């Protein structure tokens, strides 16, 4: 995406990134709605979006409201159909209608009841996180899904679009966490020893010997990485399946035993994601180390003078 303009509202609740994707204008919007009735917020946000958004609109976020409470909220009392929608839900519904946006997940799942947030205080579920798109985006949408509630108290929501352009190839880098896996270091030692025993002969120069060793050991590392990634994905898939079963069971009939089992599976799943977070932090440190003394954007941001006083104007 070629970014042309970025606009933020004064409250820090709405961000609009406007640009082009494959020469088609798009406006990507992130929105965080208030958790109480606030008609002025929805009116001001509607005007803000109308003023700055252009082309196709894809909006996602936590709206803290639902479009259709009878199917988007669970009710322990079982009388949700007899309850009128709250003023917050009504304001959100008018906001979506006036902008002409579509809840793409509900379009693709018209009869499914699923939720993205669980309130332990009220013992109820609701679908307050979603993607809203303009009608001209529908042909580009492949699927929209709701994930499981893992490390946050909200479930992740995803929107898959038709690829606009082929992704560029990535340069291979050795995963430093791979060397700490059980048996990997021993396998690398055995492969290295076997390679030099078979190829370290008088007719091969040290330069050729070393140059040929690098693709051999890289191929071995790639196979080991693929093997351990397969094992990790199998564990993640198994835990996500179990987590989904417990979530559906807890959504249909909440109980303390189900919630305890749900929390245990969620904790085990989070442990598998800790390694990914550590790897991302390591690559970030390496990037800043490599570019720290170069005339590049990180250096420009570091030497850019900052204001000494940054008041918080709105909370």
CA 28 from centroid of its chain's CA atoms: 15
Q: Which of 154, 195, 213, 268 is catalytic?
A: 154
Tokens for 240, please give them. 């996500």
Is 154 assigned a ligand-binding role in the annotation?
yes
Residue 89 is among the residues annotated as catalytic for this protein = no
Half-sphere exposure of 281 (CA within 13 A, CB side): 7
Is 62 assigned a ligand-binding role in the annotation?
yes
Residues in the chain, overall count: 315
Is 180 assigned a ligand-binding role in the annotation?
no
Residue 154 is among the residues annotated as catalytic for this protein = yes
Q: Using CA atoms, how far apart are residues 68 and 130, in angstroms rounded to an integer?
A: 13
Residue 62 is among the residues annotated as catalytic for this protein = yes
In a 10 Å sphere around its CB, with 0-12 CB exposed, 13-18 middle and 19+ buried, how is residue 63 labelled?
buried
Q: Which of 32, 93, 109, 213 is catalytic?
A: 32
In DSSP notation, 153-188 reads SB--EEEEE--SSPPPP------GGGGGSTTHHHHH
Helix (H, G, I), strand (E, B) or coil at 296: coil
Q: Which of 38, 43, 44, 62 is catalytic?
A: 62
Q: Using CA of residue 196, residue 197, residue 199, residue 202, what is the dihedral sign?
A: positive
Q: Using CA atoms, how far apart are residues 205 and 105, in angstroms rounded to an integer?
A: 62
Strand partners, 44: none
Q: Tell me how far CA of residue 253 lies from CA of 114, 182, 240, in angstroms.
A: 14, 42, 20
* Segment (H or E) for 222: helix 206-252
Is 64 assigned a ligand-binding role in the annotation?
yes
Catalytically annotated residues: 32, 62, 154
Binding site per annotation, positions: 62, 64, 153-154
Binding site per annotation, positions for Mg(2+): 62, 64, 153-154
């Amino acid at each position: 995406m070629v970014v042309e303009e970025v606009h933020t509202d004064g409250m820090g609740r709405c961000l609009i990134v406007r640009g082009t994707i494959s020469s088609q204008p798009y406006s990507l919007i992130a929105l965080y709605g208030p958790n109480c009735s606030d008609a002025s917020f929805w009116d001001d946000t509607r005007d803000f979006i109308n003023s700055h958004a252009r082309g196709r609109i894809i909006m996602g976020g936590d709206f803290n409201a639902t479009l259709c409470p009878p199917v988007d909220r669970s009710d322990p009392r079982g009388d949700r159909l007899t309850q009128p929608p709250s003023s917050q839900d009504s304001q959100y519904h008018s906001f979506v209608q006036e902008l002409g946006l579509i809840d793409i997940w509900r379009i693709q799942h018209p009869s499914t009841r699923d939720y993205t947030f669980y309130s332990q205080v009220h013992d109820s579920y609701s679908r307050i996180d979603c993607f809203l798109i303009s009608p001209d985006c529908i042909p580009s949408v492949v699927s929209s899904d709701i994930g499981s509630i893992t490390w946050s108290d909200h479930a992740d929501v995803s929107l898959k679009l038709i690829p606009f352009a082929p992704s560029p190839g990535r340069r291979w880098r050795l995963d430093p966490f791979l060397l700490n896996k059980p048996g990997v270091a021993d396998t690398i030692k055995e492969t290295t020893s076997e390679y030099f025993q078979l190829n370290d002969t008088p007719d091969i120069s040290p330069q050729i010997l070393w140059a040929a060793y690098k693709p051999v050991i890289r191929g071995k590392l790639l196979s080991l990485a693929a093997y351990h990634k397969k094992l990790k994905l199998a564990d993640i898939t198994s835990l996500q399946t179990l987590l989904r079963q417990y979530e559906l069971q807890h959504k249909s009939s909440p109980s303390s035993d189900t919630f305890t089992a749900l929390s245990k599976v969620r904790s085990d799943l989070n442990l598998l994601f800790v390694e990914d977070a550590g790897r991302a932090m390591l690559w970030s440190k390496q990037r800043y180390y490599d570019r720290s003394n170069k005339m590049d954007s990180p250096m420009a941001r570091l030497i850019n003078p900052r204001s000494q006083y940054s008041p918080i104007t709105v909370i």
